[in-house]
């Protein structure tokens, strides 16, 4: 009998092997037989996963001290996880984006959505920003740099190692240039008719959120001649897209002065600066102040951070989404539109929608749902992982 290519991890008899056979890419540590040999596996080591009857389920990356004990990389237990394997996965991800977009500005790799657990890569022209959020990727960083440079022709590759997920794998918080040179300043990014300013060295996450692209486009389709309020605006995501499609004016609200400065640069790059303004401060406080001022807008968009990043935070997060909806609904002119977003995977679409409706109802408004949106196709969802389908956007027409 041929010895297995990698060490073996086995599921306990009571573990649900069908869940993994039917597509789920994770095995929980509590479901694994953690004998003396298993406990010797170093974090990030490759291992074959077997069910309780010793039938192989695939090969993956072991992290038995973490809640997720193994992440499957390949359903073929004989697969060789080497540079050629990485190249095939990365080439497949690039081919999808090349078919979707005319310009090289998109999320190039979306972790499990592209069969590369823990890896995020955003592309800004000839600059790539990598988030290697798992130890197995750190061990293969040079291969990733070499392959990505060869496939894309990118001159600059930057490692953004600031994600919270890295701490769970014992990885340091660090940002560094892996190839090429750091940009002199923000990178102009054309998207949805506007131009954004992405700070890839010091900005939030990789510097820009590509996931909202289709929802930006929907909001912009309603924006001609409209007064727009973009709350939790970051670098002007919705505001600039709406101005590019003829909005009368747009106000961007954010608690970060640096983010609003980048939004202002984007407005200048887009040629819409004279119709763009900002309000710096806590979003809840600013919305309350606008209400006190009697302000009204034809289109209000709220895209807050993840208020419910885990099941433990779900109820508190839903109350925060309800509060956002109530305050924002008061600012929508009769017959106008309110767009509410959530990037909390723990709050599924149904729970988020109910929280929004409670808030709108508390504001005394009469809503009609006209649009439900998600992340763009450069953020492919793994059907078994709600984490990869985190983004929801709901648009309500508030009746006159």
What integer is the mean pLDDT of 6-12? 94
Same domain, 36 and 162: no
Task: Kindly report the CATH number assigned to the domain that includes residue 305.
Answer: 3.40.50.150
Rounded CA-CA distance 249/269 in Å is: 16
58 and 166 share one domain? no
How far apart, in whole angstroms, are the C-alpha atoms of residue 44 and residue 29?
14
DSSP string, 347-388: S-HHHHHHHHHHHHHHTT--EEEEEEE---TTSPPPTT-GGG
Which of residues 29, 45, 74 is at a domain's end? 74
Please enumerate in sequence order all residues whose Cβ is within 8 A of that of 177, keeping only pairs 6 or more positions apart, or say none. 156, 157, 158, 159
CA 103 to chain CA centroid, Å, is 20
**Whole-number pLDDT of residue 4:** 55
Average pLDDT in the chain:
95
Has 343 been annotated as catalytic? yes
Kindly state whether residue 14 falls inside one of the protein's structural domains: yes
pTM of the predicted protein model = 0.94
**HSE, side-chain direction, 13 A CA sphere, residue 41:** 28
Interval 373-381 mean pLDDT: 97
**Do 215 and 355 have their domain in common?**
yes
The answer as to whether 3 is a domain residue is no
pLDDT at 202: 87
Residues 89 and 224 in one domain: no
Give the mean model confidence (pLDDT) for residues 3-14: 85
Residue range 315-337: average pLDDT? 97
Q: What is the pLDDT of residues 223-276, one digit of tens each?
A: 999 999 999 999 999 999 999 999 999 999 999 999 999 999 999 999 999 999
Handedness of CA 380, 153, 204, 99 (dihedral sign): negative
**324 and 220 share a domain?**
yes
Q: Which of 154, 179, 204 is the last residue of a domain?
A: 179
Q: Which residue, 23, 52, 74, sits at the end of a domain? A: 74
- Let me know if residue 66 belongs to a domain: yes
Choosing from 242, 302, 341, 343, which is the catalytic residue?
Answer: 343
Q: What is the percentage of the chain residues whose pLDDT exceeds 70? A: 99
Q: Sign of torsion, CA 337 341 347 349?
A: positive
pLDDT value at 197 more than 60: yes
User: What was the pLDDT predicted at 330?
Assistant: 98
Which residue carries 């001609």 as its tokens? 224
63 plus 104 within the same structural domain: no
H/E run at residue 72: strand 68-74
One domain, residues 298 and 165 = no
- Answer whether residue 2 is part of any domain: no
- Tally of structural domains, the chain: 3
Which CATH number fits the domain that encloses residue 43? 2.30.130.10
Is residue 259 a contact partner of residue 295, using CB atoms and an 8 Å limit? no
What average pLDDT does this structure show over 142-168? 94
Predicted pLDDT at 247: 98
Instruction: For residue 1, name the pLDDT band (cuts at 50, 70, 90).
Output: very low
Q: The domain containing residue 357 runs over which residues?
A: 187-398
- Residue 159 falls inside a structural domain: yes
Kindly indicate the confidence band of residue 215, based on its pLDDT and cuts at 50, 70 and 90.
very high
């Amino acid at each position: 009998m041929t010895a297995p290519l990698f060490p073996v991890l086995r599921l306990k008899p009571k573990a649900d092997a069908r869940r993994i056979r039917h597509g789920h890419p994770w095995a929980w540590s509590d479901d694994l037989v953690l004998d003396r040999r298993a406990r010797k596996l170093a974090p990030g080591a490759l291992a074959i996963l077997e069910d309780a009857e010793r039938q192989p389920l695939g090969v993956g990356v072991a992290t038995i001290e973490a809640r997720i004990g193994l992440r499957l990389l390949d359903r073929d237990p004989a697969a060789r996880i080497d540079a050629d394997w990485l190249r095939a996965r990365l080439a497949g991800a690039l081919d999808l984006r090349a078919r979707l977009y005319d310009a090289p500005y998109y999320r190039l790799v979306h972790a499990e959505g592209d069969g590369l657990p823990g890896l995020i890569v955003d592309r800004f022209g000839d600059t790539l920003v990598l988030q290697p959020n798992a130890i197995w990727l750190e061990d293969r960083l040079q291969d990733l740099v070499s392959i990505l440079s060869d496939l894309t022709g990118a001159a600059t590759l930057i490692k953004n190692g600031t994600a919270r997920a890295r701490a769970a794998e014992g990885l340091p918080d660090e940002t560094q240039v892996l190839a090429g040179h750091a940009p002199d300043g923000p990178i102009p990014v054309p998207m949805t008719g506007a131009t954004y300013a992405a700070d890839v060295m010091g900005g939030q996450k990789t510097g820009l959120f590509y996931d909202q692209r289709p929802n930006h486009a929907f909001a912009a389709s309603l924006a001609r001649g409209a007064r727009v309020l973009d709350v939790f605006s970051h670098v002007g995501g919705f505001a600039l897209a709406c101005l590019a499609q003829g909005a009368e004016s747009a106000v961007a609200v954010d608690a970060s002065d640096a983010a609003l400065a980048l939004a202002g640069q984007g407005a200048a790059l887009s040629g819409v600066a004279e119709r763009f303004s900002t309000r710096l401060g806590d979003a809840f406080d600013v919305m309350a102040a606008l209400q006190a001022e009697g302000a009204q807008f034809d289109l209000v968009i709220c895209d807050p951070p993840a208020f419910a990043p885990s099941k433990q935070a779900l109820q508190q997060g839903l109350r925060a989404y309800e509060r956002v909806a109530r305050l924002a609904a008061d600012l929508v002119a009769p017959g106008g539109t309110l767009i509410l977003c959530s990037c909390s995977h723990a709050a599924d679409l149904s729970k988020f929608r109910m929280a929004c409706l409670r808030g709108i109802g508390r504001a005394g408004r009469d809503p009609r749902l006209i649009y439900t949106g998600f992340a763009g196709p450069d953020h492919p969802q793994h059907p078994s992982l709600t984490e990869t389908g985190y983004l929801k956007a709901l648009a309500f027409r508030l009746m006159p």
